[in-house]
Structures are given as C-alpha cells and as structure tokens.
Amino acid sequence: MKSWARHDYGVLALAGLVAALTLAFDLLVPLGVAGGVPYAIIVVLGLWLPNPFAILLLAGAGTLLTAVGYYMSEAGGIQWIVLTNRGLALLIIWTCAGLAYYLHRRTTAAIAASRAKSDFLSSMSHELRTPLNAILGFAQVLEADKKQPLHATHKNFVDEILRSGEHLLGLIDSLLDLAQIEGTDLPLKPVDIAPRPIIEGCLDTVAEEAGKNRILLSNRVPADGLPTIRIDAFRFRQAVLNLLTNAVKYNKPGGRVIIEYSIRPDQKFRISVNDTGIGIPTGKEGQVFEAFNRLGAENSATLGAGIDLTVTREMMEKMDGDIGFESFEGVGSTFWIEAPLADSAAIETLG
C-alpha cells in the first residue's frame, strides 16, 4: 500500500488531475475491485484503509474513476477527501476558460494597438504625400524651364531635391503599404498575367542606377514559352522591383545581377534575383524580413528604411505566393519570389 504524510496534498491533487484527464494509471491499492463499482462502495472501502493518510484509486478500462482519501485529525476524527472525475473536469474547464478570457483580452488589446499604429501610419503617409508632391512638382518645373535654364550649381541643387524627394516618396509609399497590410486593407486584384513584360519593365527601371555603379544586369528569363501566373499585376511588379532594387543598391561596383526563373514541383512560378553584393551578415538571417531592420546597413551611406522586404513578404503571402533567400556574407545573395500558376497554365504568346 502506498501512503503519504498528511501534508502531501499535492500528491493527492496530482493523482486527481491524472484521473480528470482520464489517463491510464497503475492502481496504488490493488484491491482487485472492478472499475464499475459505484462511488458509494468506494467510500465505504476507504473506511478500512489502516494508514493515517491514504488514497484509493480504482481503475476500469484504463480510466481512473475517483480518488478517495482520509486522514486522522488532531482531534481524533476522520477527515475525508473525495476527488471525482466530474468535479476535477469542471475545475479544469473553469481554469482553461479563465486563461482563454485572459488571452482574449491581451490579444484584443494587441490587435487594437496594431490597428491604431496602422491607422497612424496611413494617415501620416497621406498627409506627407501632398506637400511632398508639391515640392517635387516645383523642382521639376525649375529643371524643365528652357527659357531660363538653371545655372549648373542651381541645377545640382534641384537634382538633389528631386533625388531626395523621390526617395522620401518611395519611403512614404512603403509605409502606406505596410499600414495597409497590417490593417488587412491591402487591395488585391489577382488576374492571369504574363510575367515577362513586367520583369522587363522592372529591369528598365533599375538600369540607370545599375549603370552608375557599372553593375551588369543579366535577364535569363526567356522571351517566350513561359506559363501565365495568377496574381495582382501591380503588386507583382512591386515585388520584383523591390528585389532588383535591393540587388543593385547593396551590390559592389562592377558587380552583377542575374534574374532567372523556374517552375517548382508545387506548380509555383519562381523568379530568382542573384547578386554579387555584400550578402547577409552571418547570424542575422532570421532578421531579414523584420520591418525597419537594415541589418547594420543603417550605418552606411546606402539609403533605405528596411521596409521593402517586409512588405514584399506580406504581399506575396496574401497572394498565395512565397519569398525566400540564400546568402553568403561578402559573396552575394539570391532572393526569390513564387507566384501560383494560372489555372489554365497557358503559355505566353507575348514576345
């Protein structure tokens, strides 16, 4: 017979918890009584337990039915402890309900805080965009004035206004995208599209910046024979452009950027962008898609905010796509995105 000291209530409670969870348990008192014995008989049997403090567990079909215990009080009377599955099950249910209510409140508060942040970012982005567009507009007018051309020094000033303004406008657009994504307000219109024209357009967009640093752009996506994909065309272009922009921005002078494609076994269309840039610092791979985390590049002369990859990941996932990368510090990186094939898997006819 197994017995405990009077203060070992935790052992009794633990045994009752096991009973409540209907787990198989060895009999602590092998009385050979069938598991179907009514509780009343179990209590009566408890009267014959000779120990100052003891517990009786009767199992049937691998399920504990009850736990009965008693001990002799200092006054000489018998104090009974009876634990049944029903009572403990209710206790466990109430405990879980309280925990669920607590977690619900914390989750609701977190969602509300995130929503407030997203609303603020969205409002701020719209408020900043209007005056910035005016600044860019006036700078473009000054630059384009043929009757009164700018002095070389003044032209450099205007060029810097345009360059910095366009960078700031891109940052505002990224903040707005992030706010829309976090607020689940990102508008998406998936359609069947041919990916090649979009890829070519993105390459044309980054060509000037690549040329400034003698970075060679190589397009290995074939001119024809590609399947169509089902995705939001504007967001797909944004995702491809984000990868190409980063590949150029974080590359080395005289480096190379290669864009190619493959069809994955799960019927996804993958676009890969390979570069010979600085690579991801070792140990920081898990931080690549964190918003506003530039992985140490914030101390460099390279402009950026650390938002584009976060936005790209969220966009691709919302469009049933994916994103990933491989990188070696000091050697370069390969970032890829995957988009679902169109239902018809039609082959492009565009040249």
CATH code, 263: 3.30.565.10
Q: Residue 14 belongs to what H/E stretch?
A: helix 9-20
Q: Whole domain around residue 330: which residue ranges?
A: 191-340
Q: How confident is the model at residue 287 (pLDDT cuts 50, 70, 90)?
A: confident
| 322 shares a domain with 220 | yes
Region 303-331: what's the mean pLDDT? 84
Q: How far apart are CA 174 and CA 294, in angstroms?
A: 15
Q: How many domains does the chain have?
A: 3
Which residue's entry shows tokens 């309900």?
A: 97
Other CB atoms within a 10 A radius of the CB of residue 156 amount to 11
Does residue 101 form part of some domain?
no
Does residue 299 form part of some domain?
yes
| 231 shares a domain with 165 | no
Q: How far apart are CA 182 and CA 177, in angstroms?
A: 9
Q: How confident is the model at residue 57 (pLDDT cuts 50, 70, 90)?
A: very low
Does residue 349 form part of some domain?
no
Domain end point (choices 132, 160, 182): 182
| 116-153 pLDDT, tens digit each | 666 666 666 667 777 877 888 888 888 888 888 888 88
Predicted local distance difference test score (pLDDT) of residue 81: 46
Does residue 99 form part of some domain?
no
| 335 shares a domain with 195 | yes
Does residue 146 form part of some domain?
yes
| 208 shares a domain with 163 | no
Domain end point (choices 58, 92, 126): 92
Provide the CA 219 distance to its chain's centre, in angstroms: 31
| 235 shares a domain with 218 | yes
Q: How far apart are CA 314 and CA 246, in angstroms?
A: 17
DSSP strands (E only) in 163-249: 191-193, 216-219, 229-231
Does residue 25 form part of some domain?
yes
How do strand 216-219 and strand 63-72 relate by DSSP bridges? unpaired
Provide the CA 200 distance to its chain's centre, in angstroms: 30
Comparing CA positions, the residue from 68, 63, 54, 12 lying closest to residue 36 is 63
Comparing CA positions, the residue from 259, 247, 257, 194 lying closest to residue 220 is 259
Alpha-carbon dihedral of residues 44, 45, 51, 55, nearest 10 degrees?
A: -100
Please answer whether residues 329 and 209 qualify as being in contact, where contact means their C-beta atoms are separated by less than 8 angstroms. Answer: no
Return the SS3 of 55.
strand
| 327 shares a domain with 261 | yes
Does residue 105 form part of some domain?
no
Does residue 196 form part of some domain?
yes
| 332 shares a domain with 220 | yes
Q: How far apart are CA 81 and CA 96, in angstroms?
A: 24
Residue 269 DSSP symbol: E
| 168 shares a domain with 198 | no
Q: How confident is the model at residue 189 (pLDDT cuts 50, 70, 90)?
A: confident
Q: Which of 114-118, 258-262, 279-283 has the highest mean pLDDT?
A: 258-262
| 200 shares a domain with 164 | no
Indicate left, alpha or beta for 70 from its phi (over 0: left) and psi (-120 to 50: alpha). Answer: beta
pLDDT at 24 over 50: no
| 295 shares a domain with 165 | no
| 144-186 pLDDT, tens digit each | 888 888 888 888 888 888 877 777 777 777 777 766 666 666 6
Alpha-carbon Rg for the chain in angstroms: 34
- Per this entry, what is the length of the chain? 351
CA distances (Å), origin 299, targets 149, 166, 303 = 37, 21, 10
Domain end point (choices 182, 206, 241): 182
